[in-house]
Amino acid sequence: MAALGWLTPRRRSATARSVLAGEASAEAARKSSQEQEELDALAARTAPDEGEREPEFPVVGDDKAAAFFDLDNTVMQGAAIFHFGRGLYKRKFFERQELFRFAWQQAWFRLAGVEDPEHMQDARDSALSIVKGHRVAELMSIGEEIYDEYMAERIWPGTRALAQAHLDAGQKVWLVTAAPVEIATVIARRLGLTGALGTVAESIGGVYTGKLVGEPLHGPAKAEAVRALAAAEGLDLGRCAAYSDSHNDIPMLSLVGHPYAINPDAKLRKHARERDWRLRDYRTGRKAAKVGIPAAAGVGALAGGAAAAVALHRRRH
């Protein structure tokens, strides 16, 4: 009837029309209020209370969780193997032309911000030929010096804070890199991390032979190494985190429940955004559209390289 009254206003007096308008307005207000109350009630039923909100990450005391960090351009600016080569040249391990090659590869890496497989393979081959005949203990000692000379100042503070957040939560933190395991171990120790998975160069009697044990720890091999280490450590990969700058590490990132793209190359950035992974770019300080960081933080082994690294370590000792 109210609607009919609006259609035939002439049949009512001004007072009647005013009453009708008032009644219609009141009814609309009442209906609106009821709808809002229903929405508020629904929100109250479905919204988590303070004790049910998304927990902080990393989770303190979760001994089934760990964090895995790529090294080059994720933890450290540039590539560790290039800095290592620079240090070896200073100690007259090789000639000037080799230094020029290392310098060119490092310059390209820093400008492009991505790994070139040919450059990385060339660098690994050069390093293997250079260290052939040298003692493992000698290279470990030199690695400590090279870290202080060329690497320490190139650690990204933001990524370092992320790693520290996991350590503060009582979790283990591992480097996973195609760099020589000896150098990776030095870096991990100097940063206070748990350890490192990296390239295992063959040694007999503590002397490098110039060969690799298996294949480089790169791409899918990193994921296999992480999987093997997680099994040995009794970790739940769904509760673990992984951090990398490179699309080559998508297999490793996809393996864990908390993948992070750090200083990502274009392919990884696109992949991460499509899957709503967390991103952080310390090269510019900017955040990507879907950004998040843990609350507390404001030349390679064969697939399954963890076992090879342990075996080689035992053989040396």
DSSP state of 243: E
In Å, how far are 5, 16, 185, 189, 301 from 144, measured between CA atoms? 91, 94, 10, 10, 21
Q: Which helix (H) or strand (E) holds 199?
A: strand 195-199
Q: Which helix (H) or strand (E) holds 14?
A: helix 14-46
Cross-strand partners of 196? 175
Q: What is the Cα–Cα distance from 190 to 147, expressed in whole angstroms?
A: 9
In Å, how far are 6, 287, 293 from 290, measured between CA atoms? 51, 8, 10
Q: What is the Cα–Cα distance from 161 to 281, expressed in whole angstroms?
A: 13
CB proximity list for 95: less than 8 A, separation 6 or greater:
none
CB 218, CB 248: distance < 8 Å: yes
Q: Which residues are catalytic?
A: 70, 72
DSSP state of 94: S
CB 152, CB 186: distance < 8 Å: no
